[in-house]
């Protein structure tokens, strides 16, 4: 067992190399570890998040960033109470696990904030490494958090929020890892493996959100009769183009089902509507245009029977598959590059779904269709099945984890 003086040595950090974004600055990491946990969905946290939502909405820049506005909407008291009713069961006594160390992804600006909220809702103190890039979205949320930290009424929650920046080469990850109860890692497979080289305490554990692959299924027999196909196309645009198709939730493969004639007609309607939206909202970078050409050439060599549907520019690439390769997830490309395949039934997905698959977006199917599919094929992958336009919507169930239960502990009382 470690003596108290041994623990104190482990807690020493070179704070000069760390940029603290929050005004609640820790002089001794041990102070954060001593903060007692709260019960999940505590009144203090719900009140705080509701005020945070209002504080974010005061910033005139919020309207410019849909992801910030979405985060603010998520934090409303009404939504928190709905989530509490859904996720928090009074059948056992639960408390936060203690201190959670979050390592946010570099390419999704607001992800750090959702990770922080989950840590708070589950009753924990949190230290969050935010993206190193200077995103405006990060500044808006950090400013709101700092504004609330100036008010003594919110000290109980403010002291549980430490937001930091530091270089990848800094030893801070080692220190924070060695003194946390849970480490939450968002990033690519290589990033996760590098971070895992930093040891965590024996009772601590990692929650990892690694590289994933997502797809979309559209029922052409239903889509052909939709009176507002532009709305569906706009939802798909938000799912894919907002982050250059880099988010794990962004579909790369579209599966069409239905009669041959309806599929052909639906494809024309869907892609034409999407192209008009992309043309008005999106600018493709030259390097990504080259990537699309290179990717298609390589895929033409490796895959059987791929065909590009002609378009006048590089904003939108459609690549038709006559066969569905079981390793299609290895041939992704970003910034508006989509494979599409016409299937006879959803059960054909059993050929391709592996542990890498995360989200299945859909249009024109029922929940029963998918519950029957899961019962039939029992896939190793697919953790989320959501309507088109909602793949980016954050949930307290993510990548197969019930985050509240995972980040809290059950106290058995007999």
Residues 146 and 248 placed together within one structural domain of the fold: no
Domain count, the chain: 2
Residue 120 tokens read as 């708070």
Q: In this predicted model, what pLDDT tens digit does every residue of 46-81 receive, in sequence order?
A: 999 999 999 999 999 999 998 999 999 999 999 999
Considering the domain architecture, whether residues 31 and 176 belong to the same structural domain is answered as: yes
Instruction: Report pLDDT digits (tens) over 379-406.
Output: 999 999 999 999 999 999 999 999 999 9
Domain annotation covers residue 394: no
The tens-digit pLDDT sequence of the chain (414 residues) is 333 333 333 445 566 678 889 876 556 667 788 899 999 999 999 999 999 999 999 999 999 998 999 999 999 999 999 999 887 665 578 999 999 999 998 888 999 999 999 999 999 999 999 998 899 999 999 999 999 998 888 999 999 999 999 987 678 899 899 999 999 999 888 999 999 999 999 999 999 999 999 999 999 999 999 999 999 999 999 999 988 998 899 999 999 999 999 999 999 999 999 999 999 999 988 898 899 999 999 999 988 788 898 777 899 999 999 999 999 999 999 999 999 999 999 999 999 999 999 999 999 999 999 999 999 999 999 999 999 999 999 999 999 999 999 999 988 888
> Are 278 and 331 within one domain?
yes
Convert the pLDDT of each residue in 214-238 to its tens digit: 999 999 999 999 999 999 999 999 9
Which residues 6+ apart lie within 8 Å of 335 measured at CB? 241, 244, 245, 284, 285, 288, 291, 292
172 and 33, same domain (yes or no)? yes
Domain extent, residue 68, equals 4-211+399-411
Residues 144 and 165 in one domain: yes
Residues 224 and 366 both lie in one domain: yes
Q: Are 225 and 199 in a shared domain? A: no
Same domain, 198 and 243: no
What's the burial of 403, exposed, middle or buried (CB within 10 Å: 0-12/13-18/19+)? buried
357 and 382 share a domain? Answer: yes
CATH number at residue 351: 3.40.309.10
Is 381 contained in some domain? yes
For the chain, how many residues are written?
Answer: 414
Cα separation of 144 and 142, whole Å? 5
In a domain, 367, yes or no: yes
Indicate if 57 and 163 belong to the same structural domain. Answer: yes
Query: For the domain that residue 122 is a member of, what is the CATH number?
Result: 3.40.605.10
């Amino acid at each position: 067992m470690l003596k108290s003086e041994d623990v104190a040595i482990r807690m020493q950090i070179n704070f000069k190399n760390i940029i603290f974004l929050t005004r609640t600055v820790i002089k001794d990491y041990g102070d954060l570890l001593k903060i007692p946990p709260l019960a999940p969905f505590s009144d203090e946290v719900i009140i705080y998040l509701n005020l945070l939502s209002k504080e974010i909405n005061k910033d005139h820049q919020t309207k410019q960033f849909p992801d910030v506005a979405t985060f603010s909407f998520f934090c409303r008291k009404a939504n928190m109470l709905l989530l509490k009713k859904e996720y928090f069961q009074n059948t056992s006594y639960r408390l936060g696990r203690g201190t959670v160390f979050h390592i946010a992804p570099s390419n999704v600006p607001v992800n750090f904030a959702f990770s922080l909220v989950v840590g708070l809702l589950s009753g924990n103190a949190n230290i969050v490494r935010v993206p190193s890039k200077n995103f405006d979205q990060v500044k808006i949320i950090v400013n709101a958090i700092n504004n609330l930290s100036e008010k003594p009424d919110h000290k109980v929650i403010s002291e549980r929020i430490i937001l930091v920046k530091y270089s990848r080469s800094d030893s801070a990850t080692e220190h924070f890892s060695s003194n946390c109860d849970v480490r939450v890692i968002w990033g690519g497979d290589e990033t996760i493996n590098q971070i895992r080289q930093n040891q965590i305490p024996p009772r601590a554990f990692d929650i990892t959100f690694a590289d994933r692959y997502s797809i979309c299924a559209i029922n052409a027999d239903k889509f052909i009769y939709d009176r507002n196909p532009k709305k569906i196309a706009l939802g798909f645009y938000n799912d894919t183009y907002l982050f250059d198709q880099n988010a794990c939730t962004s579909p790369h493969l579209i599966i069409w089902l239905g009669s041959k004639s309806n599929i052909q007609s639906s494809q024309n309607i869907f892609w034409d509507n999407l192209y008009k939206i992309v043309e008005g909202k999106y600018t493709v970078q030259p390097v990504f245009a080259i990537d699309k050409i290179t990717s298609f050439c390589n895929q033409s060599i490796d895959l059987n029977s791929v065909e590009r549907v002609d378009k006048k520019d590089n904003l939108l690439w459609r690549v038709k598959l006559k066969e569905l390769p079981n390793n299609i997830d290895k041939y992704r490309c970003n910034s508006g590059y989509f494979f599409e395949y016409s299937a006879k039934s959803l059960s054909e997905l059993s050929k391709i779904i592996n542990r890498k698959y995360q989200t299945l977006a859909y249009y024109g199917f029922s929940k029963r269709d998918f519950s029957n599919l899961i019962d039939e094929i029992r896939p190793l992958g697919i953790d989320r099945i959501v309507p088109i336009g909602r793949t980016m919507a954050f949930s307290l169930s993510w990548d197969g984890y019930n985050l509240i239960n995972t980040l809290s502990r059950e106290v058995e009382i007999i």
